[in-house]
Amino acid sequence: METPPSTILETKVTTLQGVGPARAALFSALGLHTIGDLLRHLPFRHEFEHAEEAVATATLFVPAEGANLAVRGEIVAVRVTPGRKARVEATLSDGSGTVRLVFFNAPWMKSKFHPGLRGIAEGKAKSRAGYLEMSNPKWTALASGSETNTASEPASREARLRPVYAASESISSALIEQTIASVLVPACAAIQDPLPSLYRTQHALPPLGDAYRAFHAPRDLDELAAARRRLAYDELLALQLAVAIRRRLREEGGASVLPTSARIEKEIFARFPFKLTKEQLRAFSEIASDLGKSTPMNRLLQGDVGAGKTAVALCAMLLAKSHGAQSAIMAPTELLAEQHFRSITKFLEGTSVRCALITGSLTAGQRTALRKQVKAGEIDILIGTHALLTDALEFQHLALAIIDEQHRFGVAQRAVLRSKSGVDRTPHMLVMTATPIPRTLALSVYGDLDVSVIRSKPLDRQKIHTRLLPSARANEAYQFVRTRIEQGEQAFIVVPAVEASDLGLKATDTHLAFLQAGALHGLRLANLHGQMKPEDRDATMTRFLRHELDALIATVVIEVGVDVPNATVMVVEHAERFGLAQLHQLRGRVGRGTKGGVAILIGDATTDDGHARLEAIRSTDDGFKIAELDLTIRGPGEFFGARQSGLPPLVVADLTRDLPLLELARRDAFAWIERSPRLADPAEALLKRKIIHLYGEAFGLGDVA
């Protein structure tokens, strides 16, 4: 037997007038099963809906430049003007006068109009020779046929802010609005507010029920703004409370204390054939300070492509080694793991530091032998891929775990690494990314980590020049590529697709054949994409690294890849389809040697956002500026990590404009958890349930559930 609902919010939508089984199924397809679901289905924007005016009155006050208005009436005539600039004209009469409705380049509008049709036209009207004309107005039909009885029509409307909802072909925004309006007041009255009254007063926040009511049916812009601020604050506060709880739980777990000293640092820095930059030294100092504490480090090291993060990470691992402890570094691909292994072992030549590589391509015997060495403490630094996460791998004393390209791994994978320490202590955690993270995302998606930043690049890094070309001039790019290859250099050519499709996008297989038969005929070419077997992909990349290939036609699988110092040219086809951060990452694959690099972006942007992205990538090579621009242009839902983080999306809060509100919520949340680390007060039960429901899994908050 079905449990009866405890509140109106749990009541099924089928109890509402006009919502039978068929309509309920349509609501269900939108995820709207209960009245509470309807309430949480917030408008994604609001439109100003003008009050209806009589034509005779409107004709008197509409200025020459025009004014927005709404007119209700009956269509009395329809005319179509054919030709290259076809237009549909409909004459609307309300008894006091007429308005001409003109629709340009929309011949299908003719079928929507006929004499006798009643409706409301809304848009910008201009006075022309004594009559009103509206161009491409919004049209809402009311009645059809010869019917002139208006008794059944809705009353003449007043000016208002109209909510616009995410809808479907079967359920319109207007129907959703009508259904919500029928139950809005009692439903909002049933909402329990998790924030105390005094707290709301101190923060100038309306009650939660009032905020929901005002967001669905705002009386004016001020009321809408206040409602939006309350709902956005609630989202950000819940996120920051989860972050604060996660941090408190981590701080309660003990870690190995690994203090540094002038002697230790002198020995560490002697391992490098170059002098670390000031920013590398500062980042290491911040990491070393964390490692010297019994609280487990949880730090994000972010730096632009080529900023020297690996050298800083190695300094941290050598500090752990100086205390007899082990370190592990996990990379997203075998190729990148192998690159770390090669570069790290090169730095460690002539030392007693024992380094090993574990990947999925090891034989069973090799894996068993390596596990025994790691368990016995005979390996100081273990480098690998996801193979590091296998249950069978155990350390003797894992004190430091490092994850490269943080956004490729989730919170759960980090937790697995933490569980392998081999001692009754939590490993210090350092996560790295070459994709600079905007401040708002650093505080939200990565809010449980402290942040170290390396902004400068090593002094020996050469500049990468970026050029934009329309697709009509693509051949110029490939002639340039051929010239550089004939000088002994190599190139990456990036396309958006693996296989050709109706979308008309260049794909790895067809573009390879096209170039082999044309501009790059006779050169050593191969393709590389994510659908290849990992061993085949790695083999191709190894051939490229050894200069057995001149150019790779690849997808974005090379976005995070090995250093190929001889690769000096990057061509990106359909560049307008890539995000800014992604284009910057791709561009960073070249110019990693002494010859510098050239990135040629081929694209035909058709939108303002597309133009903005290409112009931004051309104008700067500062990854941090690019990250901020990318967040502004595409929004956090598209920015790398926001979807991959495992966190529920923000519905009302907007990270591109709500930084002050985010910072306020962060301060409030950390102060709250300082007072009440487990939210154990009965008055906090509702807030606690909300946080566990939203973020318990993503942040591993089982200890407070």
356-392 tens-digit pLDDT = 999 877 888 998 999 999 999 999 999 998 778 776 8
Please give the pLDDT value at position 643: 44
What's the CATH fold of domain 262-454? Rossmann fold (3.40.50)
d(CA 553, CA 508): 6
Mean pLDDT along residues 128-148: 75
Please give the pLDDT value at position 408: 44
Mean pLDDT along residues 296-300: 90
Taking residue 660's Cβ as centre, other Cβ atoms within 10 Å add up to 8
Please give the structure tokens belonging to residue 541.
């990349």
- pLDDT band at 9; cut points 50, 70, 90: very high
- pLDDT band at 644; cut points 50, 70, 90: very low
Closest CA to 694 of 234, 282, 368, 311: 234
Amino acid identity at 375: K
Per-range mean pLDDT, top range of 222-236, 538-552, 569-583, 602-616: 222-236
Closest CA to 384 of 424, 416, 348: 416
- pLDDT band at 642; cut points 50, 70, 90: very low
Question: Model pTM?
Answer: 0.75
Instruction: Using the predicted structure, report yes or no on whether residue 447 has a pLDDT greater than 60.
Output: yes
Whether 290 contacts 432, CB under 8 Å: no
Q: Give the ranges where 496-595 is alpha helix by DSSP (H).
A: 508-517, 534-545, 580-587
Please give the pLDDT value at position 434: 79
3-state DSSP assignment of residue 154: coil
Whole-number mean pLDDT of the chain? 86
Between the alpha carbon of residue 198 and those of residues 122, 205, 206, 239, 561, the distances in Å are 45, 10, 11, 21, 53
d(CA 582, CA 435): 8
- pLDDT band at 267; cut points 50, 70, 90: very high
What's the CATH fold of domain 51-158? OB fold (Dihydrolipoamide Acetyltransferase, E2P) (2.40.50)
Amino acid identity at 148: T
Instruction: Using the predicted structure, report yes or no on whether residue 194 has a pLDDT greater than 90.
Output: yes
Residue bearing tokens 């004014």: 67
Please give the structure tokens belonging to residue 207.
């009650």
Please give the pLDDT value at position 550: 95
Please give the pLDDT value at position 539: 86
Between the alpha carbon of residue 195 and those of residues 201, 232, 234, 576, 686, the distances in Å are 10, 14, 9, 45, 9
d(CA 21, CA 603): 50
Whether 321 contacts 328, CB under 8 Å: no
Q: Which segment of 212-226, 258-272, 297-311, 631-645 scores lowest on mean pLDDT?
A: 631-645
The DSSP letter of residue 429 is E
pLDDT digits (tens, 9 = 90+) for 23-68: 999 999 999 999 999 999 999 999 887 788 888 888 877 777 778 8
Asked if the 464-620 domain carries CATH number 3.40.50.300, the reply is: yes
Please give the pLDDT value at position 2: 54
Higher pLDDT, 606 or 651: 651
Element (H, E) at 552: strand 551-554
Closest CA to 438 of 288, 578, 638, 268: 638
Please give the pLDDT value at position 1: 44
Between the alpha carbon of residue 332 and those of residues 45, 99, 339, 404, 416, the distances in Å are 39, 64, 12, 7, 15
d(CA 313, CA 304): 15
Per-range mean pLDDT, top range of 261-275, 433-447, 641-655: 261-275
Mean pLDDT along residues 295-309: 85
Whether 501 contacts 630, CB under 8 Å: no
- pLDDT band at 338; cut points 50, 70, 90: confident
Please give the structure tokens belonging to residue 248.
């408190």
